[in-house]
Amino acid sequence: MSKDQTTATGLPAYITEGDDGSLAVDLVRGLEISGAKVTKLKFREPTLDDQLVSQKVGENADAEVALLANLAEISPDDLRAIKMRDYARLQVALNFFYG
């Protein structure tokens, strides 16, 4: 299976769903967080409150960055350094949460 093919859950092969509903996303370029290169980010399943709080941060992209950073338990500033190819993967994971 290539990295872009979907699994039985409908997720691309670069996203793994945990038993708790979390999603782990393999990154192509990786991201530096606190001086360490990270090649996978894990996102807990969001609650409605997560969505509402992120919308208070701002519109569209700012709210999405705030939500993703919160779910991955990293700072929004760290997330803003991510390469677009990897950010697109995070958006796929986020869209999966929305069903």
Kindly report, residue by residue over 45-74, the tens digit of the pLDDT. 999 999 999 888 877 899 999 999 999 999
Handedness of CA 79, 71, 53, 84 (dihedral sign): positive
Number of neighbouring beta carbons within 10 Å of residue 17 = 16
37: amino acid identity, one letter: K
Mean pLDDT of 6-13: 80
Check: CB of residue 36 under 8 Å from CB of residue 7: no
Q: How confident is the model at residue 6 (pLDDT cuts 50, 70, 90)?
A: low
Q: Alpha-carbon distance 39 to 62, whole Å?
A: 23
Its pTM surpasses 0.85: yes
Residue 1 has pLDDT above 50, yes or no: no
Q: At 38, is the secondary structure helix, strand, or coil? A: strand
Q: How confident is the model at residue 5 (pLDDT cuts 50, 70, 90)?
A: low
Q: How confident is the model at residue 79 (pLDDT cuts 50, 70, 90)?
A: very high
- Burial string for 50-84 (b: 16+ CB within 10 Å, else e) reads beeebeeeeeeeebbbbbbbbbbebeeeebeebee
Residue 41 has pLDDT above 80, yes or no: yes
Residue 3 has pLDDT above 80, yes or no: no
